[in-house]
Structure 1
Amino acid sequence: MSGLVAEQAAFLIDVSRLIQFATAEGWVVTGGELWRSPEQQEIYFKTGRSKTMNSNHLRRCAIDLNFFWNGKLVWDKELIRTVGEYWESLSPKNRWGGNFKGFVDVPHFERVIDS
């Protein structure tokens, strides 16, 4: 198994743990974007939806999730902070977009890998 495949597998195991944790906390979680084509990444970069052309979405090691509370979509960093902290506690390789410097991306969860 290649290094990337092992990282993708570990990432998805952590994503499943994250969803279970968030659900136990009362959130309803739905899937957003996992994989992104280079062409889509370029569109996001050019329109300001992303700050990089080197997104971990390109390697299937990032996911955007939707969090609902009482039927309403929530992107508030402080309300989702507990979920983000849990994500980062699962592995030193895990980063939550709510803690990004400069460009906060609350629904984004990723695994940092060596390219």
Structure 2
Amino acid sequence: MSSLVAEQAAFLIDVTRLIQFATAEGWVITGGELWRSPEQQEIYFRSGRSKTMNSNHLRRCAIDLNFFWNGRLVWDKELIRTVGEYWESLSSKNRWGGNFKGFVDVPHFERRV
């Protein structure tokens, strides 16, 4: 098994833990974007939706999730902070987009590879 496959597998195990944690906290979670093609990444980069051409979405080690509270989509960093902190506590390789410097990406969860 390649090291990337091992990282992808560990990432998805942590994603399942994250979803279970967030659900127990009262959130309703739906899936967003996991894999992104290089062409789509370039579109996001050029439009300012992404700040890098080296996204972990390209390696299937990042996911954007949708957080709903009382039926309303929420991207508020402070409301989701507990979930982001939990994500980062699962592995030293995990980063939450809510803690990015300069470009806050609240629904983004990734594993550094």
Same fold (TM over 0.5): yes
Q: Tell me the CA shift for residue 75 of structure 1.
A: 0.1
Q: Tell me the CA shift for residue 37 of structure 1.
A: 0.1
Q: Deviations over 1:55-113 (max 9, x none)?
A: 000000000000000000000000000000000000000000000000000000000xx
Q: Tell me the CA shift for residue 47 of structure 1.
A: 0.1
User: What residue in structure 1 maps to residue 66 of structure 2?
Assistant: 66
Q: In the aligned structure 2, how far is the partner of 1:90 from the partner of 1:82?
A: 13
Q: Tell me the CA shift for residue 9 of structure 1.
A: 0.1
Q: How does 1:75-114 map to 2 (within 5 A)?
A: 75-111=75-111
Q: In the aligned structure 2, how far is the partner of 1:5 from the partner of 1:49?
A: 27
Q: In the aligned structure 1, how far is the partner of 2:103 from the partner of 2:57?
A: 16
Give me the identity figure in percent. Answer: 94
Q: Tell me the CA shift for residue 19 of structure 1.
A: 0.1
| Structure 1 residue runs of 4 or more that deviate by more than 3 Å after TM superposition | none
**Helix, strand or coil: the match of 2:84?**
helix
Q: Tell me the CA shift for residue 53 of structure 1.
A: 0.1
- Structure 2 gaps, min length 5: none
**Helix, strand or coil: the match of 1:52?**
coil
Q: Tell me the CA shift for residue 46 of structure 1.
A: 0.1
Q: Tell me the CA shift for residue 13 of structure 1.
A: 0.1
Alignment pair present for 1:11 and 2:11: yes
- Structure 1 gaps, min length 5: none
Question: So what's the TM-score if we normalise by structure 1?
Answer: 0.96
Question: So what's the TM-score if we normalise by structure 2?
Answer: 0.98
Number of residue pairs matched by the alignment: 111
